[in-house]
Homo-oligomer: A and B are copies of this chain.
Amino acid sequence: MNTNGNDATGTIGATKTSFGIVEHIRDHDASGVSEIANDLGISKSTAHNHLKTLAELGYVVRQGDEYALGLKFLDLGDHARTRHALYHASIGEMDDLVEAVGERGQVMVEENGRGVYIYQVKSEQGLQTDSHIGTTVDLHTTSVGKSYLAFCDEERRREILDGELTRLTTKTIDDRDALEAELATIRERGYAFNDEERITGMRAVGAPILSDDETILGAISVSGPTTRMKGEWYHTEVPEMVTQAARVIGIRATYS
């Protein structure tokens, strides 16, 4: 009766429920035993045992009658992104870029067919964040993602894009052929625009990060509201700054 998710053979059910609990806590900031048991469809005692184990390991912490995520995940997350050469290479350069442009900047890598932001620099005009560090996005809906798709292996691109292209706004490119055409122009000129394709009212300029003219490491972008991202500045000056920064970061990433 209890088919724990997929019937993938040779897979550990207890681990799945443990991480299910962790994700439940993440999505609710803090959760209690009964709430978790109800939402995940497990018994209270099972939820209790998992939480006890996770607390003992230090991955969740009790506060009163609720459990919250422990900071051991912060350590794991830091190691996960430290692994990417792109992270170290982009730190200083991105700050300079954001200061020059005056809009928010972010660094993305691909994982499991989705884009993940591993670094973000907020600009002076403190627009509140909808995309934190670690957020995953559909590649075809962002300037970083399109930059990545335009410059990665053809077979890899096919793997990623074989599913449906989800549509987030009226301007999202959800047609496969139109996307390929867009990627071709991006590949030609070396950078990508995003004109309200993910969030209405937001534009962005992105560029890929290439290590030694072959392998792609990720992509960077700067993004801001349409009220400020416009005109000649948006169409030529910003792309110039972004591609220049991307070049520098690519060089720094190769030698380290």
Name A residues whose Cβ lies closer than 8 Å to a Cβ of B. Answer: 6, 8, 10-16, 18-19, 22, 26, 29-30, 48-50, 52-54, 56-59, 61, 68-83, 109, 111-112, 116, 118, 132-136
Contact = CB atoms under 8 A, between A and B. Distances in A.
B59 A12 contact: no
A71 B81 contact: yes
The 5 closest A-B pairs by CB, nearest first: A77-B77, A75-B134, A14-B14, A74-B134, A74-B77
A3 B66 CA distance: 30
Contacts of A22: 76
Contacts of A72: 134
A83 B112 contact: no
Contact of A111 (B52, B56, B71): B71
Could you say which of A22, A53, A56, A77 has the most chain B C-beta atoms within 10 Å of its C-beta?
A77
Given A26-B76, A29-B83, A71-B80, 5 more contacts: A8-B52, A12-B49, A15-B15, A75-B77, A78-B133
A163 B75 CA distance: 24
A83 B56 contact: no
Given A53-B11, A68-B83, A78 B19 contact: no
Contacts of A58: 111-112
A56 B82 CA distance: 22
Contacts of A11: 49, 52-53, 56
A71 B132 contact: no
Contacts of A14: 12-15, 18
A82 to B, nearest CB: 7
Contact of A134 (B53, B78, B109, B111): B78
18 contacts: A6-B56, A10-B49, A11-B52, A13-B14, A14-B15, A15-B15, A15-B18, A15-B57, A58-B112, A68-B83, A74-B80, A74-B118, A74-B133, A75-B136, A76-B134, A77-B78, A78-B133, A78-B134
